[in-house]
Amino acid sequence: SQTIHQWPATLVQPVGSPLSLECTVEGTSNPNLYWYRQAAGRGLQLLFYSVGIGQISSEVPQNLSASRPQDRQFILSSKKLLLSDSGFYLCAWSRRGETNTEAFFGQGTRLTVV
């Protein structure tokens, strides 16, 4: 069976510090990978998605970047965090090329920038 791991679960970071959130998927190959941010009252905002190693699509301009160094690993980073980067970050995966495919989400990381 497939599983998705996302860590850490919670993180408190000072403004200006770097960020690295990691997500890994097990039990499948060639997944589509996604990073979403959920801010209070603003739903799920797609930040980045990737259809393969080294292939990253950015949905919104921001202070964050993403990388996919391995097929089942997706990393969200920032060089200098802003207060506005606080939120609930979710990693997800789906099977590539299927329209009616389910998106499987990780448990999320609650990031608080202070």
Partner 1 sequence: QQQVKQSPQSLIVQKGGIPIINCAYENTAFDYFPWYQQFPGKGPALLIAIRPDVSEKKEGRFTISFNKSAKQFSLHIMDSQPGDSATYFCAANGSYNTDKLIFGTGTRLQVFP
Q: Applying CB under 8 A, which residues contact partner 1?
A: 32, 34, 36, 41-44, 46, 49, 51, 57, 90, 92, 94, 96-103, 105-108, 110
The residue (of 32 and 78) whose beta carbon lies closer to partner 1 is: 32
What does 67-86 look like in DSSP terms, one character per residue? EEEETTEEEEEESS--GGG-
Minimum CB separation from partner 1 for residue 97, in Å? Answer: 6
Residue 80 CB, shortest distance to partner 1, in Å, is 27
In whole angstroms, the minimum distance from the beta carbon of 99 to partner 1 comes to: 4
CB 113 within 8 A of CB 14: yes
Three-class secondary structure assignment of 44-68? EEEEEEEEECCEEEECCCCCCEEEE
Residue nearer to partner 1 on the CB measure, 51 or 53:
51
What whole-number distance in Å separates Cα of residue 46 and Cα of residue 48? 6
Looking at beta carbons only, is 10 or 20 nearer to partner 1? 10
DSSP three-state, residue 69? strand
Tell me how far, at minimum, the Cβ of 19 lies from partner 1, in Å: 19
